[in-house]
Structure 1
Amino acid sequence: MKLVIDDACYAYDTIFSDFGEIRALPGRSINNASVQDADVLIVRSRTRVNQSLLQGSKVKFVGSTVAGLDHVDQKYLHDNDITFFSAQGCNSMAVAEFVISAIVNLADELEFDYQEKTLGIIGVGNVGSRLAAKANLMGIKTLLNDPPRQAQEDLPDFVDLDVALSADIVTFHTPLTFDGKHPSYQLLNEGNFHHINDQSIVFNAARGGVIVEDIWQKTQTKVNIIDCWENEPNINQTLQTNAYWATPHIAGHSVDAKFMGSFMVYEALCAFTNTKQDDSIVNLINPGILSVKQDNLKDTLNQIYDFKQDTAAITNVDNFEDYRRNYPIRYEWHHFDSTTVLPIV
């Protein structure tokens, strides 16, 4: 069996080597010629998986080690009997930790009590649900908005989009969708941007395209935290310059998340090929007990990982892609023995 794998997939050589011959390439370099004789394709978000890529190839299994779906033409895969698996939820804890870290830093630097703020969470799937649980543990009032879930589950505590946008802190965690009853493309747009004002704190840790950036760059807010951008890596430099944290789409880039993305695809490929799993792979991430001896939550979180270095790393925007591909080691909170109680849930 021949596998073409994005070389940014975590531990791909260890995890997938038993399946056959691996050809590892940067995601943006994977093209039709490189997959012609491949049986399996494993990608991250930088490879557009569609007819143009796969036509004429032998590929019968596509695995995506990231949570997003907008880079994959699922209809083409279905119509051509190509099995597809996406690692939904693999980075949900990492993104939730990213948002909480930013809120805690902002509360300290801008001198507000986060327990007196409302947090509008738009998109309450894997990430939004984890974030809501952490926020509730910290005493932050949440306003949850997710029309697709609301339609299916009749959740009485959910609010409409306008209410969520009127929160003190607004954070987006939707997939990027263009059709259906509730498309998320340009969800925050000229028709509802008036809910965002000069006291709003706005996060985009979802997907570029969820917020109309041309309007956002002209809208005065209290703070913007932007991890996801339109036209990456050619990002909006006005928004970048004015943001509190402007990071290169790395909110979900913990070691744990990257491992889990690869591991979830590994499990799916084992099922597809009727291969017995190697039990040792699940324990591949084992940094031991890491210690943090700070007496407050902000310093504790920043010792675990100071996200401001991610902003500094792309002061020169030409570093965007290289920094993502060579991202520093960052472990999630549950690995740490902390003097200060962490909001782990």
Structure 2
Amino acid sequence: MAEKKTTSYPKEKINILFLENISDKAVNHFKESGYSNVKKLGGALSEEELIKAVKDVHLLGIRSKTQITENVLKAATKLQAIGCFCIGVNQVDLKSARKHGVAVFNAPYSNTRSVAELVMGASVMLIRKIVDKNKAAHEGTWMKDAKGSYELRGKTLGIIGYGNIGSQVSVLAEAFGMKVIFYDVVTKLPLGNAVAKKTLKDVVSQADVITLHVPETAQTKNLINKSVLKHFKKGAILLNYARGEVVDLDALAKALEDGTVGGAGIDVYPWEPEKNGDTFTTPLQNLSNVILTPHIGGSTEEAQQNIGEDVSNKLFQYLEMGGTTGSHTVPSLSLPPQEGTHRILHIHNNVPGVLSEINTQLSNHKINILSQYLKTNDEIGYVVLDVDKKLSAQAFQLLKEVKETIKVRMLY
């Protein structure tokens, strides 16, 4: 059983909603800590459904399908934090979340191994042309042929984006005996014998297998396009287990058909169905030596358990301690407990004079601040105050009246 913290609010009145079949690790974490109102749903919700569902929710857990818009955040008047049980946070309107003082957390490292292993598995399948041989065998045709099938050993892997996943792929590839080259817009320390290249063209023109591990931004949209594909080493394999907008799929389909690209493994798409069983189409269907998977790069039991534990820990720390380590919206603070006090959280617009007004108001009413923490980002400031228990109710009311206040919460 997890240690139960003393809070100033009844835990049974805290409403927690988890969507998209989030791991039971997260559910159990809160239930074992005394939070009884935890609801888990199997799928995503539309904006209209979300607006109704989040009215009285304090903590919301989602994965990649659920879109948190300005309208949803306006309706979620009690919402304290959102946990994205996945790598990215692009499904959340972060600017609006900041404006409403909602902390947003994710798990940027928890499924890196799952993605890295799948990249290496797909590399073996594609370089050996297993996809075509498997299809033929299922159709009753015997295709025992070594022509065009190769080992990974001695081949060159080109990694575009040398972050958490790309660097782990690098280590696994060297264990296969591959040479590793990579390109990243930020200078990165190579692992093992990997070699950094100066341009994207340098990588794609030299690599036998190219794997993408970049975020979805305006700069990476259609990063792999018609002009870039022309520089590919003839017959090279392309893998995209990153983001759907990174590859121009029509251009890739043409390159596969004319033999410029020898094979592809694609897990993410510009458009993806809302739920299992929905119709799905892509220009890459029915092409030779292509592996298509339904956005499952991080979908392993181990990864989902790790993500469930990681994000639920962050949500729990924010709810019970005010800690915001890993938040994308509220400035990051890691706070020790303070005995014999009540803790108040104050989120405000980051403009000059707010902290001064907080201290002046409390000082004028002879309220002693036993400890104080402040952290800001470009848009908001986050103040945590530990005050005398006897005067905490008065302090709470005074802080609500401070100009530029977004949200105030009595923690314990």
* TM-score (norm. length: structure 1): 0.72
Query: Aligned with 1:106: secondary structure?
Result: helix
Alignment of 1:244-283 (within 5 A): 244-274=290-320
Deviations 1:102-126 (A, max 9, x none): 2223344452121221111111111
CA distance in 2, matches of 1:228, 1:133: 23
Aligned equivalent of 1:38: 57
Query: Aligned with 2:265: secondary structure?
Result: strand
Aligned equivalent of 2:94: 74
Deviations 1:26-71 (A, max 9, x none): 2234511111110111100001122122213121101101002221
Amino acid corresponding to residue 68 of structure 2 in structure 1: V
Aligned equivalent of 1:216: 252
Q: Which protein has the larger Cα radius of gyration, Structure 1 or Structure 2?
A: 2
Aligned equivalent of 1:2: 15
Deviations 1:209-232 (A, max 9, x none): 011112112212211111111110
Q: Which runs of 5+ in 2 are unaligned?
A: 1-13, 130-147, 274-278, 322-412
Aligned equivalent of 2:203: 164
Aligned equivalent of 2:213: 173
CA distance in 2, matches of 1:10, 1:52: 27
CA distance in 2, matches of 1:188, 1:106: 19
Query: Aligned with 1:195: secondary structure?
Result: coil
Aligned equivalent of 2:73: 54
Kept in 1: contact 2:238–2:264 (CA 8 A): yes
Q: Flag the 1:197–1:137 CA change in 2: closer, same or farther, 3 A.
A: closer
Aligned equivalent of 1:279: none
Kept in 1: contact 2:204–2:233 (CA 8 A): no
Deviations 1:70-119 (A, max 9, x none): 21222221222111111101110001000111222334445212122111
Matched residue count: 270
Query: Aligned with 2:196: secondary structure?
Result: coil
> What displacement does 1:199 show?
0.2
* TM-score (norm. length: structure 2): 0.61
Amino acid corresponding to residue 101 of structure 2 in structure 1: D
Kept in 1: contact 2:226–2:252 (CA 8 A): no
Which of 282, 285, 306 is residue 240 of structure 1 equivalent to?
Answer: 285
Aligned equivalent of 2:168: 130
Kept in 2: contact 1:127–1:173 (CA 8 A): yes
Alignment of 1:291-302 (within 5 A): none
Query: Aligned with 1:191: secondary structure?
Result: helix
Which of 201, 209, 222 is residue 186 of structure 1 equivalent to?
Answer: 222
What's the RMSD between the two structures over aligned residues? 2.3
1:118 pairs with 2:156: yes
- Sequence identity, in percent? 28
Which of 72, 84, 88 is residue 108 of structure 2 equivalent to?
Answer: 88
1:199 pairs with 2:235: yes
Q: Flag the 1:103–1:262 CA change in 2: closer, same or farther, 3 A.
A: same
Kept in 2: contact 1:15–1:262 (CA 8 A): no
> What displacement does 1:154 show?
10
Structure with higher strand content: 2
Structure with higher helix content: 1
> What displacement does 1:132 show?
0.4
Aligned equivalent of 2:401: none
Query: Aligned with 2:254: secondary structure?
Result: coil
Amino acid corresponding to residue 216 of structure 1 in structure 2: L
Query: Aligned with 2:29: secondary structure?
Result: helix
CA distance in 2, matches of 1:214, 1:106: 20
Q: Flag the 1:60–1:256 CA change in 2: closer, same or farther, 3 A.
A: same
CA distance in 2, matches of 1:195, 1:252: 30
CA distance in 2, matches of 1:28, 1:170: 35
CA distance in 1, matches of 2:310, 2:190: 30
Deviations 1:116-140 (A, max 9, x none): 2111111111111110011112221
1:230 pairs with 2:230: no
Q: Flag the 1:111–1:144 CA change in 2: closer, same or farther, 3 A.
A: same
Q: Flag the 1:154–1:116 CA change in 2: closer, same or farther, 3 A.
A: closer
